[in-house]
Chain A
Amino acid sequence: MTYTKRVDGRKIEELRPMEAKAGVVKNANGSASFKIGKTWAIAGVYGPREVVPRFMANPRHGILRCHYTMMPFSGSGERIKPGRSRRAQEISMVMEQALAPVIDLSAFPNSVVDIYVELPQTDAGTRCAAISAACMALADAGIPMKDMVSSVAVGQVDGMVVADLNYNEESYPAIVSDIPVAMLHNSKEISLLQMDGEISKEDLLKALELAKVATEKVYQLQVKALKEKYALNNEEN
């Protein structure tokens, strides 16, 4: 084991500094901004509205559509080509699947709820930030949900199980694994689990235990931000 101290000096279970705010896009039905370290996601929710193209409509319940985009200037120098890439499509799909278990659109057949997530700045963990922001935006839009979804990455860097890897850790020159996890708050069900790299079975179980603690921290912040939106108005008077 050569990796004994994390590159940015955090403790193993420590997340990067987070910041969250609800209601940042006034034109949207619901919106939220979520920052974790240098990664920053802004989510806007529109709908339920009429489905275009029509063939996608489901007469039994409303559908959820995610649109994940990294802004052209968001990376570390290289310009990101705007629009749908294979990667953006995949992340949009896993976001839909991560949020689907909590939302209840049975009262809105033949309609769609669109979530647009833009990332002005990225430093690893974008899909997790995107999911956390999207869930807050859905709550802000008043979409019926049975629970909140919080997401953060865990992983293993050269034998050390850590939470919330940044880009420098992801690209550390050793055996590294990066496991984005999304978790429902009440039931602790996992709605997103992907992995890059290699990890042993024991470490994976350890990492998933760590994910419970880490997503709980994200959840606390999400709840605080949503409640603050209405408390803030109180103070203005």
Chain B
Amino acid sequence: MSELLVQERNVVVPGEALAQGMDFLPGDNTYREKDQIYSKVLGLVSVSGRVIKITPLSGPYLPKTEDKIIARVIDITISGWRFETATAYSAMLNVRDATTRFVKKEEDLSQILSIGDYAVVKIVNVTSQNLIDLTMKEPGLRRISGGRIISINSQKVPRVIGRQGSMITLIKDKTGCDITVGQNGLIWIKGTSEGELKAEKAIKLIEAKAHLEGLTEKMERFLGESA
């Protein structure tokens, strides 16, 4: 009785019927109405067993706990910093989550992070109203100095990183840059000027072709050529 109306990796639009019948289950970015399952976003179909989900091709970043993001200090409060996170919501970093050393009561917080600074931080808590708490007290989390920051759509971040980091390792090796990818779509590149430019070009190319298959080979070619 039940019937799949689309195929794996098809591009679907919001409201497009994906399956007919109760044997299929609605996964991420889909919904059921009566016995039909519909898409909720513009994206690619992926079916695993009985579950149909849609991988969005674009869209806003939704903050999640444990996500490493890159954010910019926009304000200093009595007990910490407020960050802009490239979403509709700002995030708070408390002094005691910012550094391992003791911070005296009357100390000037801008000595640690001042307004306009970027930092690599991790989300520790998100409320239902999307209030975000951050930490900077783990290895790899720190204030950003030097290099450049570029921004891509956050839905493309998994492709930039690649399976087990294969893509990002490839770019790092070929350009000699240090690259940190935030889940919110901000990327910090630090290296030689030529290397930074090349890495930026490579990442923008991945963003444009993220929905295609065989991307790693393509990137190997691209980075090999311009070397």
Contacts and interface: CB of A to CB of B under 8 A. Distances in A.
**Are chains A and B native binding partners rather than an unrelated pairing?**
yes
Nearest to B209: A233
Interface residues of A, number: 39
Interface in A139-180: 139-148
B13 to A, nearest CB: 5
A230 B88 contact: no
Interface in B155-169: 155
Interface stretch (A3-11, A46-54, A123-131, A197-205): A46-54
Please indicate which of the listed interface residues B11, B29, B59, B60 has the most CB atoms of chain A within 10 Å of its own CB: B60
Contacts of B208: 233
Contact of A186 (B38, B87, B155, B218): B38
B73 interface: no
Interface string B49-68: 00000001111101000000
A110 interface: yes
A237 interface: yes
A225 to B, nearest CB: 10
A1 interface: no
A139 B14 CA distance: 7
B13 A223 contact: yes
Given A142-B60, A146-B40, A234-B212, A227 B129 contact: no
B147 interface: no
Interface in A100-149: 102, 104, 107-112, 139-148
Contact of B31 (A62, A140, A146): A146
A110 B63 CA distance: 14
Given A50-B88, A233-B211, A142 B15 contact: no
Contact of B42 (A110, A226, A237): A226
Contacts of B16: 223
B216 interface: no
The 8 lowest CB-CB distance pairs between A and B, nearest first, are A142-B59, A111-B88, A147-B15, A142-B58, A145-B14, A48-B88, A139-B42, A144-B40
26 contacts: A50-B89, A108-B88, A108-B130, A109-B128, A111-B88, A139-B14, A139-B42, A140-B42, A140-B58, A141-B58, A142-B155, A144-B40, A144-B41, A145-B40, A146-B38, A146-B40, A185-B15, A186-B17, A222-B13, A223-B16, A226-B11, A227-B13, A230-B11, A233-B209, A234-B212, A237-B209
